[in-house]
Amino acid sequence: MRLSEYKYRNYKFLGCSEGGVHTAMALPQYKLMFDVGVGHTRLTDFQRLLLTHGHLDHSSGLAYYVSQRALRRLEPPDIYCPPELADPLKRIFDIWAEIEGFEAGYKLHPVNYDDYYKLQGNVYFKAIRSIHRVPSNGYTILEKTRKLKEEFQDLPGHEIASLKQKRDDLFYDHENPIITFSGDTQIEFVLQNELVRRSKILFLECTYVDEKRPVERAREWGHIHLFEIAEHAEAFKDVEHLFLIHFSPRYRQEVVIQQIKEVLPEWLAQKTTPFLYSRDIRNIQPAKR
């Protein structure tokens, strides 16, 4: 199977996503991937796995991923997952060790939703609860910086330096969300989370795109419909680029592309890319503002 590759600005995304079949998305810059719904040799290069939930189209490649890294004598992977998933996954890995006759190393981390996990420098990721039929969460990669509070910004440098010796409330933590990956969820994942809405790049599931599968059906199964994205278009005004993923395999690619053009407001459609199956590398240009 050939993975799709897309480039946007300085980021490259490698993976595949088809609803009910497989979803896996690697971000080489940070040596991580979101979900592993397929066993693919190229995906075993990434040491961090951020798992959104346990449905097999998002997790079926886990055993292969861990085993292949062990066979290649790579560092045991760090696997992050919803906390409810940790014990079942450990039992599964124990069974696979029994089947294979050797125990592949891995480090399992049930996420804490109040924590920030460091990637490099001032770049972190954070898990955000999502709304699906099983325990699930998305992930946001963000930059954390310390900024001077507005009331002190007009002071000369020497006064600020002096105040720093006397008090610790001059600065505040600023979060700049770079990339969010939703996993499977209802639209409230976007509507209820400011970090998601402010992300420069948002990977958002969009399982259904036409009236043959209504919004009610999408919500019943814990998914998002293209009609909901159109209805709540203003929620995406600060997103620089929207990648839609997880389309139902019932749709031909040309149908997905046409529906995005027809259903979404023009300004939103211009900055939306469907992450389609088995595409060559595509360079995505920022939408004109």
pLDDT per residue as tens digits for the range 195-231: 999 999 999 999 999 999 999 999 999 999 999 999 9
**DSSP letter string, 151-185:** GGTTS-HHHHHHHHHH-S-SEEEEEEEEEEE--S-
Q: What confidence tier does 40 reach under pLDDT thresholds 50, 70, 90?
A: very high
Mean residue pLDDT across the chain: 91
Q: Provide the domain count of the chain.
A: 2
Q: 3-state DSSP helix/strand/coil percent for the chain, to nearest 5? A: 30, 30, 40
Q: What is the pLDDT of residues 82-141, one digit of tens each?
A: 999 999 999 999 999 999 999 999 999 999 999 999 999 999 999 999 999 999 999 999
In angstroms, rounded to a whole number, what is the distance separating the alpha carbons of residues 275 and 263?
Answer: 17
Q: What confidence tier does 281 reach under pLDDT thresholds 50, 70, 90?
A: very low
Share of the chain above pLDDT 90, in %: 84
Give which of 45, 86, 19 is closest to 37, Cα–Cα: 19
Residues 97 and 128 in one domain: no
| Range name among 93-97, 163-167, 240-244 with the lowest pLDDT average | 163-167
Domain ranges, residue 129: 114-147+174-273
> What pTM does this model have?
0.90
Residues 216 and 127 in one domain: yes
Q: What confidence tier does 280 reach under pLDDT thresholds 50, 70, 90?
A: very low
CATH number for 253: 3.60.15.10
Q: Identify residue 85 by its one-letter amino acid code.
A: L
Residues 67 and 126 in one domain: no
- For residue 285, is it within any domain? no
Residues 221 and 239 in one domain: yes
- For residue 287, is it within any domain? no
Residues 96 and 120 in one domain: no
- For residue 154, is it within any domain? no
- For residue 159, is it within any domain? no
Residues 207 and 259 in one domain: yes
Mean pLDDT of 259-279: 91
- For residue 211, is it within any domain? yes
In angstroms, rounded to a whole number, what is the distance separating the alpha carbons of residues 189 and 212?
Answer: 24
Residues 182 and 79 in one domain: no
